[in-house]
Amino acid sequence: MTPYALAAALFTLGLGGMVLLPNLVRKLLAMNVMQVAVIVFFIALATKDGGRVPILEPGETEAIAADFMNPLPHTLMLTAIVVSVATTGLALGLLIRIWRQYGSLDERILLSRLRGSGDDATRHGAGDDATRHGAGEPPR
Amino acid sequence: MKARLRAAAAALILGGLFVGLLAGVRDLPPIGDPSSPASTHVSPRFIEEARRETGALNMVTAVLADYRGYDTLGETAVIFAAGLGAFVILAASIGGPRRETPGPGLSHRVDSLLLDTAARVLAPFLLLFAVYVLVHGHVSPGGGFQGGVLFGLGLVTLRLVWGPPRPDRAASRFGPGVRASFLLASAGLLAYIAIGIAAMAFGGAFLDYGVLPLGQDPAHVRELATLGVEAAVFVAVSGTVAVLFETIAVGVAETGRPLPNEDPAPVEAREEG
């Protein structure tokens, strides 16, 4: 029960953070909290009373299903963790791009700049300049 | 007043969601129940047959790289795509115009004897431990993903201390640039696919390692092929971690708009809270 409640609490916190926090970096962190909720949930599903870690001792050949934790959720979450690292990196890349274009990561400021004054968004213009140049060269 | 109303509504909705989730939890099987649906369909087969069929003591590795090899190939492709995406999003800045005074980002050498010495001592063990985690994936917790992330972070550590690779400084030769990191990541993904196709070439299904001509005992053959797959994942993941770091570090530090903490002007661009 307790791990499920923890997963529910983390999921609620993460969802609330994603919807309510104005700063995009905080939204990203809230999304990571939601991912942790899913991971906790899956790992809780994998446990068995009296089960041990799903790794055999050297020389052990026979295994009975009731003696071991379920390896399948562990496998799924292992890849999920690494995928979440990679997608977080991708999201950070997007945030840098947004910062460069609009000079802010605050949702309210971004929305006002997207709606109205186009001149505000392009005043600094660094992002526009950069797109005209080729991307083929390595950084130094 | 409007903001307070909004906060109250949000609290109400989120509280309702939490209570709803808890109510849903009551219908789930109790934690630790060996006869729960999650533990009764395919997983007993994985537990009881993994040793005989795949030769791996670590059932998680057996499931990851053998039984669910297709899924893992997809995950590796997702990770590679994330690295590629970050690069494409920020590529305009790499090789684009540089700021006259580069910001205090992650992209420059830190001239500190302390950090330099610590990195020299730490780095070999960090990278070696990553390889250990990879090759011990069959008998202990570990494998390609974990080892790959460790190796990638080892590269990032070196890169943080030593700055970007430069031909005139021998000490920086361990830090790959964006291009080398990309080659690593692509090579890993392609090696994974190549192992799958090799199985087809010897008459099996895609990623059906048992038919590969690596020995007589099918379990042993599968063990070797699984290690190959894990190594491919290791290379792909460590390359992707390095790509992500390189693109983000360079994107932040060297081009475009200054960061908030170094920008004296415009006031309206400042973050609130």
**CA A73, CA B37: separation in Å to the nearest integer?**
12
The pLDDT value given to residue B269: 43
Does residue A36 carry a pLDDT above 60? yes
Reported confidence tier of residue A139, pLDDT bands at 50, 70, 90: very low
The torsion region of residue B118 among left (phi > 0), alpha (psi -120 to 50) and beta comes to: alpha
Quickly tell me which residue has 């947004």 as its tokens: A98
Interacting residues of B228 by C-beta distance below 8 A, sequence separation 6+: B191, B195
Q: Which of A47-56, B52-61, B80-89, B154-163 has the lowest mean pLDDT?
A: B154-163
Query: In this model, does residue A137 exceed pLDDT 50?
Result: no
Does the distance separating the beta carbons of B79 and A83 come in below 8 Å? yes
| B244 interfaces chain A, CB cutoff of 8 Å | yes
A24-27, Cβ contacts within 8 angstroms, sequence gap of 24 or more? A24/A95, A24/A98, A24/A105, A24/A106, A24/A107, A24/A110, A25/A95, A25/A105, A27/A107
A133 CB burial (10 A radius; 0-12, 13-18, 19+): middle
Residue A5 or B116, more confident: A5
Which residues partner with B32 through β-bridges?
A48
Mean pLDDT of B111-135: 89
Confirm if B148 and B234 have CB atoms less than 8 A apart.
yes
CA distances from B228 to A6, B233, B234, B248 (A): 38, 9, 10, 30
What's the rounded mean pLDDT across residues A97-119? Answer: 81
Angle of helix B218-253 relative to helix B113-135, nearest 10 degrees? Answer: 150
Q: What is the pLDDT of residue A138?
A: 41
Q: What structural domains and CATH numbers belong to chain A?
A: 1-50+68-106 (1.10.287.3510)
C-alpha span between B131 and B180 (Å, rounded)? 19
Segment 74-113 of chain B within 8 Å of chain A by CB: 75, 78-79, 82-83, 85-97, 107
Which residue among A4, A63, A66 sits closest to B34, beta carbon to beta carbon?
A66
Out of B38, B68, B248, name the one closest to residue A96 (CB): B248
Residues in chain A with CB shorter than 8 Å from the CB of B17 are 12, 15
CB proximity under 8 Å: B 172-211 to A? 177-179
3-state class (DSSP) for residue B95: coil
* pLDDT average, residue stretch B145-172: 77
Q: How far is A104 from chain B (nearest CA, A)?
A: 6
pLDDT at B59 over 70: yes
> Is A82 an 8 Å CB contact of chain B?
yes
Alpha-carbon Rg of chain A, whole angstroms?
Answer: 23
Mean pLDDT score across all residues of chain B: 82
CB-nearest to A82 from B97, B149, B254 is: B149
Q: What is the mean pLDDT of residues B18-37?
A: 89
Residue that the structure tokens 């971690």 belong to? B241
Task: Please choose, from the candidates A126, A32, A31, A85, the residue with its C-alpha nearest in 3D space to the C-alpha of residue B90.
Answer: A126
ipTM above 0.85, yes or no: no
Kindly report which listed range (B16-25, B96-105, B223-232) carries the lowest average pLDDT score: B96-105
* Contact check, Cβ <8 Å, B266/A103: yes
In sequence order, the 6+-apart residues with CB closer than 8 A to the CB of A12 are B14, B17, B18, B21
Three-state secondary structure call for residue A50: coil
